[in-house]
Amino acid sequence: MFAYQIVTDEVQATIYFEGDIDIDAGDVLEDEIEPAVAPYTNIILNLEKVFFVDSSGIGLIIRLVQVLQELGRNVYIEQTQPEVMEVFELLQLDEILGKEIFR
């Protein structure tokens, strides 16, 4: 099951994801999360409670990050679980999104 919580201050939005990021998360990412965080300068995707991301989920994350970056936002991915980070590394996500995004 996929869930999220957004915590904000004046310039930053942190999205705490929980559960699997897969095709079922697509509508939520595009329809709810993207517009909710777009006004903020810094956006953090906290993946501490995400233990599975499938190919659809990878595509959704890439799209979310790229859309926000095109709006001039600083986007970071943090606290990624080792098994999820392994998938990111296999797919060379750091080459696609930039190494500086991961912290």
Residue 77 confidence (pLDDT): 98
What's the pLDDT score for residue 53?
Answer: 95
Domain spans, the chain = 3-17+24-101
At residue 44, the pLDDT reads 99
Residue 76 near residue 69, CB atoms below 8 Å: no
* Per-residue model confidence as pLDDT tens digits over 46-95: 999 999 999 999 999 999 999 999 999 999 999 999 999 999 999 999 99
What is the pLDDT, as a whole number, of residue 27? 86
At residue 32, the pLDDT reads 93
The rounded distance, in Å, linking the Cα atoms of 14 and 24 is 21
CA 61 to centroid of chain Cα atoms: 5
CATH number 3.40.50.1980 given to 3-17+24-101: no
pLDDT in tens, 2-60: 999 999 999 999 999 999 999 888 888 889 999 999 999 999 999 999 999 999 999 99
CA of residue 63 relative to chain centroid, distance = 9
